[in-house]
A and B are shown apart, each in its own frame.
Chain A
Amino acid sequence: MKVPEKNGLENHDPLELQKVLHRRAFLRYTGYAGTAIAAGSLITLASCKDSDDDNENGVNFGSGDFAILNYAYALEQLEAAFYTQVIASPFTGMTTGEKSLLTDVRDHEIAHREFFKSALGSNAIRDLEVDFSSINFMSRDSVLGTAKAFEDLGVSAYNGAGRYIASADYLLLAGKIVSVEARHAAYIRDLISNGSFADSSVIDANGLDKSRKPREVLGIASTYVKTKLDASTLPA
């Protein structure tokens, strides 16, 4: 399935991210220092590819905050495509109430996807091709199980990415989105098993939700993404 093409807003750059990034040179420097040294050279910091480049390693996310935003954009593309299919071919036995709220979830994910596309403008990665061949969209268990995995993954991805965001504006935007993903996650979990909204499979003894690093997240997501992704510019 191909995520539908949207009319891009290529020149839209509402937050002048680059300016922010320069102000935050220190953050950028330290944020990637560990990676760079492990690779043996700080020089690599200076060279960053255009974010929409496709090379033999796959779709490149770009650098700095662009990379984090493209990472979020990729996840939102995946979620939006999934729920679009969920509503297009409802699983057997989907109730009216469930269809209404799952349609809300679809619309939220589309809103997130399109927001990132517009905010990133010409720095946005291209539309990703998804692979949902492992999902039986007629099966309640298959669909809700996948939805739970996607929502919990999304929450952990945003939680883990916050520390790498240099712009306060984009950190807040990520915060505005992640709590909605957490609301989704709790709803889906309760659909599967009432009361599992925040069980010990996701919340630890300190009452903390999970964080995952970008490469771990993309590794998990790769089952559902046909397009090859190059995570090399994302924090390890």
Chain B
Amino acid sequence: MNFLQIFNQIEEQDPEIYGRLDTRRDAMRSFAGLGKKLALTSLPFALGSMFNKAYGQTPTGVLDVLNFALTLEYLEAEFYTLGVAAPGLIPAGAATAAITTIRDHEIAHVAFLKAAITGAGGTPVAKPTFDFSGGNGAGNGPFATAFTNYELFLAVAQTLEDTGVRAYKGQAGNLLGAGDVLEAALNIHSVEARHASHIRQMRKANNFGDVKPWITGVEPGLGAANSLVQASYNGEDVITQAGISITNINGQAISSNAASESFDEPLTKAQVLAIVDPFIAG
């Protein structure tokens, strides 16, 4: 599709198109990233530059979202990289294959987001120094044995994945109308959910926790580690959506557990940053 031609035609048929745009800000939000989504697609560069010229650069808000996502992906990528490299941690065979698959996705997400940020005229944030013990750099936090204790490793993995799903979801509204950027974020979001589902199945299969592939209420299912990760699950017990009660909705036998499971809930950026803060040194 030739976007430039389309917009030329719009202008022909509707010379007042630009007067119809609600606000300049809305216009920017709507076209953020349209011309900036890497070499992945055949890009409407003409459209991108047209809107850059007309409305300024990519909105700061979109770049903020992408850099926030990049920080989380750095965290996940390094966690799995260290996990796969840790001798004797992950059983050979299906488990190592699965964690390697997840690691590779997180590494790809880092590269993708860096390219997207650069392509949109922004500067990717640098990778923080991580402390996967959860000790803020001291190395002696509650997860200090995560790379020697397989059960703890999977518990942290589950929490990171579930948190990642909630983090992306919480940013969707900030990408409203951002076209390709929103779609790419959604494309990452559902991958994180697939990861979460699989990690949960791994934990169940190893009798590490009585968890399902989906989140029930606010129960992390991590046993002794529950209190350490509770913030990642608080608020997941919502059973009313848009003012509509989901439990037994319209006379259907939907339990409150099923009502909670059937909708994943978002976390705000501040909530996510508080959750991951112990993993960041300094």
Contact = CB atoms under 8 A, between A and B. Distances in A.
B243 A178 contact: no
Nearest to A34: B6
29 contacts: A12-B244, A27-B30, A104-B261, A108-B258, A111-B262, A114-B250, A115-B242, A115-B244, A118-B249, A163-B182, A168-B173, A179-B192, A180-B261, A180-B262, A182-B190, A182-B191, A182-B197, A183-B196, A183-B197, A186-B193, A187-B197, A187-B201, A198-B105, A199-B101, A207-B104, A208-B191, A209-B188, A209-B194, A210-B187
A185 interface: yes
B3 to A, nearest CB: 8
Interface of A: 6-7, 9, 12, 14-15, 23-27, 29-30, 33-34, 37, 42, 101, 104, 107-112, 114-115, 117-119, 155, 158-160, 162-163, 165-166, 168-169, 171-173, 175-187, 190, 194-195, 197-199, 203, 205-211
A30 B265 CA distance: 30
Interface in B241-268: 241-244, 246, 249-255, 258-259, 261-266
What DSSP secondary structure best describes chain A's contact surface? helix
B214 A180 contact: yes
B125 interface: no
Interface of B: 1, 3, 6, 9-10, 13-14, 17, 20-22, 26-27, 30, 40, 94, 97-98, 101-102, 104-109, 111-112, 165, 168-169, 172-173, 176-180, 182-184, 186-198, 201, 212-214, 241-244, 246, 249-255, 258-259, 261-266
Contact of B173 (A109, A163, A172): A172
B190 A159 contact: yes
A37 B183 CA distance: 24
Given A111-B259, A162-B183, A181-B190, 19 more contacts: A25-B22, A29-B20, A109-B262, A111-B252, A114-B246, A115-B249, A155-B190, A158-B190, A163-B180, A171-B172, A172-B173, A175-B168, A175-B186, A176-B169, A180-B193, A183-B213, A198-B198, A207-B104, A211-B183
Given A172-B172, A173-B242, A206-B40, A178 B190 contact: yes
A176 B266 contact: yes
A139 B182 CA distance: 39
A12 B201 CA distance: 39
A111 B201 CA distance: 23
Contacts of B104: 207
Contacts of B251: 6-7
What DSSP secondary structure best describes chain B's contact surface? helix
A208 to B, nearest CB: 4
Given A104-B214, A195-B98, A203-B105, A209 B190 contact: yes
B250 A118 contact: yes
A26 B107 CA distance: 37
Given A155-B190, A168-B173, A210-B187, A119 B244 contact: yes
A108 B214 contact: yes
Contacts of B22: 23-26
A187 B250 CA distance: 28
Contacts of B106: 207
Given A33-B10, A175-B266, A208-B112, A182 B186 contact: no
B1 A34 contact: yes
Contact of A163 (B97, B183, B191, B246): B183
A37 B10 contact: yes
Nearest to A203: B191
Nearest to B246: A111
Contacts of A171: 172-173, 176
A14 B195 CA distance: 33
B197 A173 contact: no
Contacts of B189: 175, 178-179, 182
Contacts of A33: 6, 10
A2 B52 CA distance: 51
A119 B212 CA distance: 28
B254 A107 contact: yes
Contacts of B190: 155, 158-159, 178-179, 181-182, 209
Contacts of A173: 241-242, 263
A165 B177 CA distance: 8
A42 B20 CA distance: 14
A119 B254 CA distance: 17
A163 B109 CA distance: 20
Most B Cβ at <10 Å: residue of A101, A114, A115: A115
